[in-house]
Chain A
Amino acid sequence: MSEPTITPDLMRISWGPQHPMSGQTRILLDVDGEKVHKIIADLGFTHRGIEKILENRSFLQGIVPIERMVMIDTANIGLGYVMAIEESLGIEVPERAHWIRSLVCELSRISSHLYAFGLQAESTGYFPAVFLWTTTDRTVLLDLMEELTGARFSYNFFLPGGVMKDLTEGFEDRVIEGVQYLRKRFEDYWTAMIENIVFEARCNDVAVLKPEDAIRLGATGPVLRGSGISIDVRKDEPYAAYGDLDFEVITESACDSMARTKVRYREIGQSLNMMEQVANEIPGGPIRTRFPLFTRSKPGEVYSRVETGRGEMGIHMFTAVGMNPYRVKINSPTLRNMYVFERLCELDEMLMADVPVVINSIDPWYLDSDR
């Protein structure tokens, strides 16, 4: 990349792409001593051209590559694509399938937030143990998912018109067991991590993002809600069973890295509540309507939005007469939040040591931003 010029008296540090705290991106930091003056994100290290691939696959085949966008949060991503297909082809979804979808999505969201949590703990340099805790606790979710869908991470579970399988016998009880176990664990997370003095010192008042800046720069997901703005697609535009489920949109008013972490922590609590509600109140009935294997679409367009673990994801699907989508535009949350990250050092004073904390507080997943 032809790099932008550097101001004299600053030193440019290249960070990544194999550094464990930067993930699969390269960050150029212009620093003066410890103070960061400018951040340039060099994305694209995991670019696979998913938008082009989807143009060459049939509607059903497209579910596989698109779930590889965010491996740790596959259900939410897959649901966005499946909802776009359903809307453009006019397929009805039975009530029970909606509830199962919500259950799987919440499982997936907890898994995603746990990842953010573990890395945030590790980036403060003090808690590798918390990262290992998150992998342990994720096995509870993975076992549930494996029982239901047959896969640990890439479920391919949602089909246009419903879901692939019904809940296994006694699955509801195991969900409630898992929820109770996780609730107990999350009390430990609060005392061991969030109330810890070191963690507070590293996260409080770091990278403050004021609400008006968050809106102006297009932040989304927990980053936006951490700045005190209550925007959540699940509430604004209920899909799946979120219209019937009882939950609140979590916001924090502190606007710093700690607020964003706390938003994730409290959202996990809401997700656990929702899982319990689904397990207790799930209605009966069929789980899918028939979806023909070979479908011809009519010209048109659909824009579907879902709330993934990282924020709002939009899928804009254009169809022509044929078996494939004409074009699929994926509006990924990480790309939006990465722009916020680039600007954060200008909005608030940031030191070199804060960079891992800040970058993990926005919870990037570069496979998502690079597509």
Chain B
Amino acid sequence: MSEAELVEAITTSHAEQIESAEVLRSQRVSVVVKREVFLEVAEALRDEYGFKTPSAAGGLDYPKEERMQMIYYLFNPDSKITLTLRVDLPRDDPTLPTLTGVWEAMSFHEREAHEMFGIEFEGHPNMIPLLMPPDWRGGYPLRKDFKGEAGEE
């Protein structure tokens, strides 16, 4: 399945659930999903479109537009396409259902996004800090308005 066919298939079968889907370049596809139906699309991507390998996940902060984006990187071992599954979140309420039920290995990446961006993952089985020291009080480092170091509130 080529990139263009994949995007077309996703847009026709999940027209209600996604906000946009586009081909960035060869082997790169980007899909932006609505937050409410995020898990359904993720399951469809795994079961119907063969994105079985979770690569990574990370956040992105846009303070001017008052939004954050959570990005999941998925890989299809057959067609070798990397798909970025994105969800837009409001900056004052960054909560999201966890994706560990679909791809178990997203656990580490969600823990990292939680401590770096302050995104809450509802239902995550083991939400403890991954990289930061346990006594860190300095805020969320990768947010754009982060200034200063540990100990400073």
Contacts and interface: CB of A to CB of B under 8 A. Distances in A.
Do A and B truly interact? Answer: yes
Interface of A: 1-4, 43-44, 47, 49, 51-52, 215-218, 220, 229, 231, 236-237, 301, 303, 305, 312, 314, 316, 318, 327, 329, 331-332, 335-336, 338-340, 343, 370-371
B24 A237 contact: no
A2 B133 contact: no
A218 B141 contact: no
Interface residues of B, number: 35
Contact of B82 (A43, A305, A371): A305
27 contacts: A1-B129, A2-B128, A43-B131, A47-B131, A47-B132, A49-B141, A51-B142, A52-B142, A215-B53, A216-B105, A218-B55, A218-B103, A220-B55, A231-B77, A236-B80, A237-B80, A303-B73, A305-B82, A316-B73, A327-B60, A327-B61, A327-B142, A331-B58, A335-B56, A335-B108, A336-B105, A339-B108
Interface in B103-146: 103-105, 107-109, 116, 126, 128-134, 141-142, 146
A181 to B, nearest CB: 36
Interface in B27-50: 27-28
A316 B59 CA distance: 11
Contact of B105 (A47, A305, A339): A339
A1 B134 contact: yes
A312 B55 CA distance: 9
B55 A336 contact: yes
B55 A303 contact: no
B85 interface: no
Contacts of A44: 129-133
B118 to A, nearest CB: 15
Given A44-B129, A301-B24, A218 B71 contact: no
Contact of B131 (A4, A215, A370): A370
A312 B134 CA distance: 29
Given A51-B142, A305-B82, 10 more contacts: A49-B141, A303-B24, A303-B28, A316-B58, A327-B60, A327-B61, A329-B60, A331-B56, A331-B58, A331-B73
A52 B105 contact: no
Interface string B1-42: 000000000000000000000001001100000000000000
Contacts of B58: 316, 329, 331
Contacts of A216: 52-53, 103-105
Nearest to A300: B24
B3 to A, nearest CB: 13
B98 interface: no
Contacts of B108: 335, 338-339
Given A43-B131, A303-B28, A314-B73, A218 B54 contact: yes
